[in-house]
Chain A
């Protein structure tokens, strides 16, 4: 066997090992109910902001504290705490991906991914909302 063949095999094996170990780090998308059952595990929630409940953010008191209520497609809701600034236009976003873990009664959020304006710009539904508001 040639040296280069051995090296190719070693490199490919290394790449496979890397990818397999990566699968161990992967997390999952959960509903609020299933996330509550996996308290303390890092999960991803796909939710909307529940506008029935007030959003709490006061830069005077603490610019790194945001709290709101999230509701998922099954209708469950949970209080979310995010130790960072309020992402711009969060109220407008139709879909939020929250990354974090359930801790006691609330969801301790590490990161929020918005379905940002650039993504719903081509969405006729959003456009209609836009027109109605104007």
Chain B
């Protein structure tokens, strides 16, 4: 059947290259394994040549698959499911790449692409380790290529192809408009009926989403390098790989760490989670491999300098890559559906994903334990005054912290395995925080102290002489933070607050001690200071986390409901005494918000990015400079009707003020309610839906309201007060203006109460009885509800991440230099 207007060629090209990449990576794997096994040098080099050609074909295929999919998305070929489900025509060019990683297939392709890049660097640099290392990587490429197949073998679907057509997936089966009435099948011209794709999820339409996934996946991909070296080392029983693996591990730690923290920045800036870290399973799953990787990096250093800790080095590198695969399984299998807010959907590839994990993890573990006794280790005990001893303790703590986190994250897996129905604790975040704060204390102290020990043994006098200055400075700084910093997070009890103060000391100590070490220990040799700089960054990250989280403040405390006018506290839904975080702003009405008077000024729709921006004006009560913020909302797609909100933040060097819209209401429907007329005289009290209206007095030609009537008119105004249930008072002045026989009615409105008051007429002049019209309407005003948070010192966190990455990069450079000897052996 030929459908009109379909472009089938790109899909066929893409599918061809997807299969070619599978075959090429299989060939590369076999050839590299052979090259590793044969002894004869000429045989070896011919196998390597073959393997490299296969890897070249593999690389070209991966790039071609990428390019084809990009073509399909950018040309809006909605006959393809991937373009249809992940993009639409109105999408800005910069977000076209984000469409790739919205789906699982695209993110697998990204991973595979980075393996190719890393592969070529290894072919260029790894010399005689090439065969072993590259056979592991080629095999990983083979596994990733199966994820993109989408072919059935004996009724089992292998992988999920990004090139399948929308119509073959049954998208149009249910919609009668696509049916051909004569045949009952799909109309031949069905494509003309598809106006647009279902679009990129609005949450992903953020610049962090363009950059965070590539960096994170480079981090994921790079963990395979130390793993591959370790496996090759076990097979060859040659442990000299730890030298070339070291810069790779540093590189990987830098990139993975940066990737994870970019995700945190994305959450902070766009996801309206109200923070950068929520211990969400998806976040944990990428943090834990980073922890074990850093542990591996440190034991690797120990081995290189002292000969201790070779076994842990093997173990940590193996476990790191295995955890990456495990996190892939967690986030992509749909198993986290009930515990995470942002996991992928189940594509029906769970078995395949599990196999991907096991095919690496089990043989690696087997090789490790099989060879365990043969891995050299030193029997003599490390000195307590040695650097390696404390580094090892630190690595162990990092590893165990990671295990605890991943075990907690794995409750859905445990439910699946054992049929239990356990769920996270009531306060899931605190259950992590209360443990990890102690990890932070230990690691903070260790990063501060350990560099002042020398490898093997340290003269006690040397240690004592160097350490006292940084210790004193750190104590002074952290005590002043504790005393004057207003860190009073007592929600979780005094014990936890105490732990926070200790942790602040530990974090400050690690920053100060490592800065000092550059002079005291390294005599200012910046080139050798990579580790110190990374530790400074890590310490700053800790300081930033501790201060910004413990001092995070809700500015939009809404105390609605704690006034005596609010009905019975036992009434359902009465938040009496428990102020909540959302506050409602009525257009043009300044609202009291603690330190600020806040006004919702206006909103505008930007046609380019299809976002509606709200102008929120903050006026500081203490007279300091005010500011305006522009949080926005973007209309949901993909069957959503609502809006998703993007926060806006005011950045100061010492804090961020952070606002986001939680709901908004536009006055778009017609006002159908009518006025109720009531008799009233001065001093009377009337009720309305949300409180009281008091008529204070009637005044003739009041000077204060001069602007509302003309000179030749006689004006009669009612001086009234509206008291809402939450105790707020609003003055209102409805009136009439008379000119001869002409009566002009001047209504007055209390926007926030949706109340309109109208002075109709005087009923009885003797007794002073008047007629008042009252209208309560829902369609009276535009309003937004929003949350406002203050994050103090959040910039220390971001600065710390930056410094840490710089430190890692410095140490990569520092470690590569001594390796730069000799070139390519095989040509």
Interface residues of A (CB under 8 A from B): 2-4, 7-8, 11-12, 14-15, 18-19, 22-23, 25-30, 42-44, 46, 57-65, 67, 81, 83-86, 88-92, 95, 97, 99, 106, 110, 113-124, 126-133
Contact = CB atoms under 8 A, between A and B. Distances in A.
Interface of B: 85-86, 102-104, 169-175, 198, 201-204, 337-339, 341-345, 347, 381-382, 384, 389, 392-393, 396-397, 400, 403-404, 407-408, 411, 421-426, 431, 435, 558, 560-561, 572-573, 575, 578, 580-584, 636-645, 662-663, 665, 690, 752-754, 778, 783, 785, 787
B411 A26 contact: yes
A60 B204 CA distance: 31
A110 B435 contact: no
12 contacts: A2-B381, A18-B435, A42-B426, A59-B783, A81-B572, A84-B581, A110-B426, A113-B338, A120-B638, A121-B85, A122-B104, A132-B175
A60 B582 CA distance: 11
A60 B342 contact: no
B642 A60 contact: no
Q: What's the dominant secondary structure at chain A's contact region?
A: mixed
Given A118-B201, A118-B204, A128-B173, A4 B392 contact: yes
A63 B426 contact: no
Nearest to B160: A122
Contacts of B343: 119
B404 A92 contact: no
B345 A123 contact: yes
Contacts of B345: 119-123
B780 to A, nearest CB: 9
Contacts of A14: 400
A84 B785 CA distance: 11
Given A88-B645, A117-B640, A121-B638, A64 B665 contact: no
A73 to B, nearest CB: 13
B662 A63 contact: yes
Given A4-B381, A22-B408, A88-B645, A59 B558 contact: no
B85 A63 contact: no
Contacts, number: 203
A3 B426 contact: no
Given A113-B339, A121-B345, A127-B171, 9 more contacts: A7-B393, A27-B424, A59-B665, A60-B752, A62-B561, A115-B337, A117-B202, A117-B637, A120-B345
B572 A106 contact: yes
B643 A88 contact: yes
A126 B778 CA distance: 33
Contacts of A27: 422-426
Contacts of A30: 421
Contact of A3 (B381, B643, B753): B381
B338 A128 contact: no
A4 B580 contact: no
A108 B508 CA distance: 41
> Could you say which of A27, A64, A92, A110 has the most chain B C-beta atoms within 10 Å of its C-beta?
A64
A91 B426 contact: no
A24 B198 CA distance: 44
A130 B583 CA distance: 33
Contact of B103 (A85, A120, A122): A122
Contacts of A118: 102, 201, 203-204, 342
Contacts of A28: 421-423
A86 B431 CA distance: 26
Contacts of B174: 128, 131-132
Nearest to B633: A88
Contacts of A117: 201-202, 636-640
B381 A29 contact: no
Contact of A119 (B337, B572, B636, B752): B337
B430 to A, nearest CB: 9
B396 A8 contact: yes
B752 to A, nearest CB: 7
B785 A85 contact: yes
B341 A99 contact: no
Across the A-B interface, give the 6 residue pairs with the lowest CB-CB distance, nearest first. Answer: A64-B580, A85-B662, A25-B425, A88-B642, A63-B785, A63-B582
Given A60-B754, A117-B636, A15 B582 contact: no
A31 B193 CA distance: 43
Contacts of B560: 62-64
Contact of B170 (A23, A43, A124): A124
Contacts of A59: 582, 584, 663, 665, 783, 785
Contacts of B639: 92, 117, 120, 126-127, 129-130, 133
Contacts of B198: 121, 127, 130
A116 B280 CA distance: 15
Contact of A128 (B171, B344, B425, B665): B171
A63 to B, nearest CB: 4
B662 A25 contact: no
Contacts of B397: 11
Contact of A64 (B347, B393, B407, B558): B558
Interface centre among B339, B403, B640 (most CB of A within 10 A): B640
Contacts of A12: 400
Nearest to B199: A121
Given A62-B575, A83-B578, A97 B338 contact: yes
A15 B665 contact: no
A29 to B, nearest CB: 4
B439 to A, nearest CB: 10
Contacts of A129: 639
A34 B607 CA distance: 50
B204 A19 contact: no
A26 B422 contact: yes
A15 B640 contact: no
B581 A124 contact: no
A121 B426 contact: no
Contacts of B85: 121-122, 127
A24 to B, nearest CB: 9
Nearest to B427: A25
A85 B202 CA distance: 20
A82 to B, nearest CB: 9
A18 to B, nearest CB: 5
A6 to B, nearest CB: 11
Given A4-B382, A116-B341, A122-B85, A19 B400 contact: no
B102 A121 contact: yes
Contacts of A19: 404, 407-408
Contacts of A116: 341-342
Given A65-B573, A88-B636, A11 B580 contact: no
B573 to A, nearest CB: 5
Given A67-B573, A123-B345, A131-B172, A89 B382 contact: no
Contacts of B662: 63, 85-86
B300 to A, nearest CB: 17
A92 B575 contact: no
Nearest to A86: B663
Contact of B778 (A60, A83, A106, A127): A60
A72 to B, nearest CB: 13
Contacts of A119: 337, 342-345
B636 A89 contact: yes
A61 B581 CA distance: 15
Contacts of A42: 426
Nearest to A110: B426
B636 A81 contact: no
Contacts of A97: 338
A60 B663 CA distance: 11
B289 to A, nearest CB: 18
Contacts of B404: 15, 18-19, 22
Contacts of B572: 67, 81, 106
Contacts of B171: 124, 127-128, 131
A19 B86 CA distance: 40
A123 B169 CA distance: 11
A62 B345 CA distance: 35
A115 B407 CA distance: 23
